[in-house]
Amino acid sequence: MKKVALCLSYHLNNKLFDMKDINTNRDNCNYPMFLLKDSLAKESIDLSTYDINHADNSDFSFYFDYSKPLGFAKKNYLFLFESDVIAPNGWKLDVQKKFDKIFTWKDSLVDNKKFFKINYTHLFPSEAELVEKYIPFYEKKLCTLISGNKIASHPNELYSKRVDIIKWFEKKHLSEFEFYGVGWDRPISQNKYINYIFSKKTIVNRFFYKFKSYKGSVESKKETLKNYKFTICFENAQNIEGYITEKIFDCFFAGSIPIYWGAPNITEHIPKECFIDFRDFNDYSELYDFIKNMDENTYNIYIESAREFLLSSKSNQFKAKALSDTIIKHVIEDIRDEK
């Protein structure tokens, strides 16, 4: 049996593939990796984390992004899931030279020689689940956001823009906005030592850093988002073509209309009728007026458009099977070429 070492420094001992682990597999986010492992096993190829399959003794190494070297195999694949704004190491040319093939969502890099196209992929709801009735329009609250409290200094980052819109809603329309996520009960810094201090329950946290609309963390994004008409859906970064993460699909699966900001070419991949493009508005007030005054019929057109997209072949590129099929194809070709 051929061996593949998954080189990442978290979810070791194959925890990444455990669909029953509610701490690591919220909303089935690990399903694409589970399916990849399962599909490779059917080809007599074992994919395991690098503490089980050591890279030096494996036929392939898979790096999901790149933080530091964890060993290399005969063939080495790099998966650039995160942007250079958040995880810059894998985007460095000297790092990329270490790999035989690189898989990325970044359209401009794809040459089908060394760089190959993949997207963030997901476990889609069944067709029956997608046609079930969502919570009625008039029973939903207006707007929400789910995000961790993070910070970055890159000019394309959108972390700070999430904070801006939270503060705007709290100042102007507090009763119509609620948000969720981890880390919002304390300040945050780019200095890890300061963050450690802030992680403790201090007077600063309790009295000087509190968002009135913050409702805590969530166990399921779908079960939370389904209660809101609209969801602020800002990627971690903007102006990066092809960078479309799970955020917009979380909204689609829950029947909440995403207010999207991120990939400038989003409509090349997802129809414009499925979401509200934040760039179409001059300011938050204009956006608020648009969503506040949207009637039920118009709202349902967005919901139905998203549902039609999910059921169409155009969405196949974002399904977990697309990832596993692509990688298996390359692995089998590289094994054959060795012979």
pLDDT at position 153 is: 86
pLDDT number for residue 195: 46
- Which pLDDT tens digits describe the chain residue by residue (339 residues)? 999 999 998 899 999 999 988 888 888 999 999 999 999 999 999 999 999 999 999 999 999 999 999 999 999 999 999 999 999 999 999 999 999 999 999 989 999 999 999 999 999 998 888 877 788 999 999 999 999 998 888 999 999 999 999 999 999 999 999 999 988 876 554 555 444 445 555 555 555 457 899 999 999 999 999 999 999 999 999 999 999 999 999 999 999 999 999 999 999 999 999 999 999 999 999 999 999 999 999 999 999 999 999 999 999 999 999 999 999 999 999 999 876
Q: Which CATH architecture has domain 2-123+319-338?
A: 3-Layer(aba) Sandwich (3.40)
Domain segments of the chain as ranges: 2-123+319-338, 127-317
Q: Which token pair is 162?
A: 């999430």
3-state secondary structure the chain: CEEEEEECCCCCCCHHHCCCCCCCCHHHCCHHHHHHHHHHHCCCEEEEECCCCCHHHCCEEEEECCCCCCCCCCEEEEEECCCCCCCHHHHCHHHHCCCCEEEECCHHHCCCCCEEECCCCECCCCHHHHCCCCCCHHHCEEEEEECCCCCCCCCCECHHHHHHHHHHHHHHCHHHEEEECCCCCCCCCCCHHHHHHHCCCCHHHHHHCCCCCECCCCCCHHHHHCCEEEEEEECCECCCCCCCCCHHHHHHHHCCEEEEECCCCHHHCCCHHHCEEHHHCCCHHHHHHHHHCCCHHHHHHHHHHHHHHHHCHHHHHHEHHHHHHHHHHHHHHHHHHHC
Q: Can 2-123+319-338 and 127-317 be said to share one CATH topology?
A: yes
Question: What is the per-residue pLDDT for 55?
Answer: 96
Q: Specify whether the CB–CB gap between 215 and 285 falls below 8 A.
A: no
Compute the chain's Rg from CA coordinates: 21
Q: Does domain 127-317 match CATH 3.40.50.880?
A: no
Burial label for 289, CB within 10 Å (0-12, 13-18, 19+), is exposed
pLDDT of residue 187: 59
Query: In degrees, to the nearest 5, what angle opens at C-alpha 319 toward C-alphas 313 and 322?
Result: 90
Could you tell me the pTM of the whole model?
Answer: 0.91
* pLDDT reported for residue 21: 86
Give the torsion sign (CA, 120, 239, 161, 201): positive
